[in-house]
């Protein structure tokens, strides 16, 4: 619960953007990402969840179940820092109350998941807004 009791721990945060959205694995460590949004609550169950993605020509495919962040740092109700499990491309979400209840698929609403691209920028041209990454 927030300090003013206005936040519900069972409600999922609403995510708006990541920083960085694209991380160049050649020049940067790509070990953490800042997630911005609202309704994030500093509780023991606050966590970031990562779906590993595989680049397929011009888009991505989920390759397995969600992984939890090795470490989450609560900054404010609109900002958390999530450690990335390992270098790569992910769909990321944040939950106040434990693991997500659904799996991302072509038929699932993924509006509360954000795309993080950790790749060699000299080999790929990526656009997180479009959800595309094309090999050069």
Phi/psi-derived region of residue 10, left when phi > 0, alpha when psi is between -120 and 50, beta in every other case: alpha
SS3 content of the chain, % helix, strand, coil (to 5): 0, 45, 55
Kindly list the domain boundaries of the chain, sorted by start residue.
Answer: 14-119
Instruction: Look up the CATH number of domain 14-119.
Output: 2.60.40.10
CB 93 within 8 A of CB 116: no
Reported as a single tens digit per residue, the pLDDT across 14-60 is 999 999 988 888 899 999 999 999 999 998 989 999 988 877 656 67
Angle at 68 (CA atoms; ends 62, 69), nearest 5 degrees: 110
CB 8 within 8 A of CB 97: no
- CB atoms closer than 10 angstroms to residue 3: 8
Q: Record the pTM.
A: 0.82
């Amino acid at each position: 619960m927030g300090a003013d009791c206005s936040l519900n721990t069972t409600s999922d945060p609403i995510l708006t953007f990541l920083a960085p959205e694209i991380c160049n694995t050649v020049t940067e460590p790509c070990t953490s990402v800042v997630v911005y949004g609202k309704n994030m609550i500093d509780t023991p169950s606050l966590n970031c969840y990562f779906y590993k993605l595989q680049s397929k020509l011009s888009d991505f495919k989920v390759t397995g179940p969600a992984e939890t962040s090795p470490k989450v740092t609560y900054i404010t109700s609109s900002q958390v820092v999530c450690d990335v499990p390992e270098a790569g491309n992910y769909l990321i979400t944040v939950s106040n109350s434990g693991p997500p209840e659904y799996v991302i698929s072509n038929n699932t609403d993924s509006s509360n998941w954000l795309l993080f691209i950790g790749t060699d920028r000299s080999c790929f041209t990526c656009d997180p807004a479009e959800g595309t990454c094309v090999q050069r």
